[in-house]
Structure 1
Amino acid sequence: MKILVTGAAGFIGFHVTRRLLKMGHEVIGFDNINSYYDPQLKYDRLKEVGIPKNLIVEKKYIQSSIHSQYRFIKMELTQKAALMDLFRYERFDAIIHLAAQAGVRYSLENPDVYIKSNVEGFLNILEACRHYPVKHLAYASSSSVYGNTKKTPFSVDDCVDHPISLYAATKKSNELMAYTYSHLFKIPTTGLRFFTVYGPWGRPDMAPSLFAEAIINNRPIQVFNNGNMERDFTYIDDIVEGIVKVIFDIPDAEKEHIPYVLHNIGNSHPIKLMDFIDSIEKNLNTKAKKNFMPMQPGDVQKTYADISSLTEAVGYAPQTNLQEGVKRFTEWYISYFIRKQRTNKSKTLA
């Protein structure tokens, strides 16, 4: 298959791209490489799949030096005409749409970018799929759509009409938009509500990296809601396995009338935040200094995925426990960021 992966320089998109290439598919990677967090991490991910930073130019294909079936293009989702040209020229079989403005807390500071990227950008993807039909569009939603619901585990059949952050509201809007386009134009769509993904090459603004960086540098970590939080931490390899299985599980318009599906994709095993911190401490062999803070606006106390629909559909079954997942993450973190610090120190001395 020829598959477009948007957000290909991002955490999940990078891992999905590598998995698809390993399977032998042709992949076009798409990303705007924005500066929400240090773009160098995105360039380093791209380098791992043969895309060098010095060759990346806006709206120009870069051929991977490692994978003959991989090309990358830097582009904005809001550039509708260019996006339409891309779809018209490539004639994709499937789309894995992971590009979005991420972050719950950042949506309080910069709401405009969420509307442009997550709403306008997603509309452009849907329009492109409408005019240049694909077999399947799988897209990233979020566990944040559940808001502060007290019912657990969270089910895709639950009401999600009360998001408590703009980020969550944009993800809920994506689900509604996808339903409309599936209904009107029979575009097969599958939404995946992600639950706290972690692992190697993870985002530096997420808790695992923030904790590891602070502990290594002997700085206190911020522990929100005084540590009374639970998250359905899900290791990246399990997430990727689910996404790859989903993209080939195409909703049937004839059987289902409207080819629209929603799934939770998580671990279905909430972890107390203090237990997660304890696991990082053990792997770094260092106790963290902790600043206990109140709950932040937009945060929720607990996430817990009911993954039964995804298990029934594609046999999804997470395999990585917390101890193994955190071990792999910390090993990568030390090797990557310590090496980066040494490189920066060398540049300063030079």
Structure 2
Amino acid sequence: MNLLTAKSLKKLAVRPEFYVFIIILLLSLFIQAKSGLFFTNNNIVDLLRSMTVPLIYAICAYLGFISTGPDVSFPLIAALSGYLATQFVMVTGYSGSIIVVFLVAIACGLVMGAINGFIIAKYNFPSLIVTLGTTSIFSGILLGVFEAGRIKLPESMIEFGQQSLIKVTNAETGLGSSLPMTFLIAIGLYILTYLFLNFTMAGRGVFAVGGDETSAERAGFNVKKIRFGVFTVNGGLAAIAGVCYSVESTYFLPTEFAGMEMIVIAAVILGGTRLMGGVGTLTGCVLGTLLLTIVTNSLILVGVPIYWQKFIIGAIIIVGTAISVIQIAELKGFRRSKRKKVEVA
């Protein structure tokens, strides 16, 4: 039993998610000790609320990394899809189920994601370059062609954004917080992604393509179709995030979407997703997102200014990435030594 426990702990200790969890725990205890407010009901709800859209973005970034490479276009796909869905409601006067609004946004997002996927799969171009290019194109369409600005959402969308799963009030401070229905959407997407990646042949293909393209082809996976599919799906996921962000804030603000990609990608890498593809877990993805959400939202409780928060985020990213790289190097070294022993034997 002791030997089994030791082996389990050893396996746990080499996983990047373990270190991220430890950092989250220590940081939470530090903030609680300094402010006494971290574990209050309203702060916990605020953290979950703040994680909703970044978590959906993180799934996009994660799928990109484990299959092909970085996808930095998801914030602008979210912005343009959200804008088109909002315009659909305003122009048609639609006031029915919010599901139709999401479907309109998803359709737009799938088209934009398919553009990314087609170029990457067809011409084997680097995903970073392609998605950087389409980001500029989508931004130009949104701000140049449509001249999008600050728009107050239609009442039907605002009503959905104001629906709450939980409402809490801090008895000491009197501060209240609510967890929106959009949080359920983020959790649902997480579960669907987990089931797809772990229990379907196509999901295994995503990891196979990211790990070794040649081996994946020999195993019978269609590399081009998988890459096209991943970036197309990413477009749909980003569109959902765009509508969620808009209904939570009750306004469509196109400038608020840009810039999120770097923090989200950092969170995913921090959670143990390998830059070169094929390796990573959704658990690490969630933990990395949670850590950066805590740093962004809760350090203010101990009086840390915004510019120091950015410094801390940068330091955490560097340290977390360094740990991940060191662990990968150690694992490779262990495998090499094991092979040599086998050859000698």
Same fold (TM over 0.5): no
Max Rg structure: 2
Greater helix content: 2
Q: TM-score, structure 1 length as denominator? A: 0.25
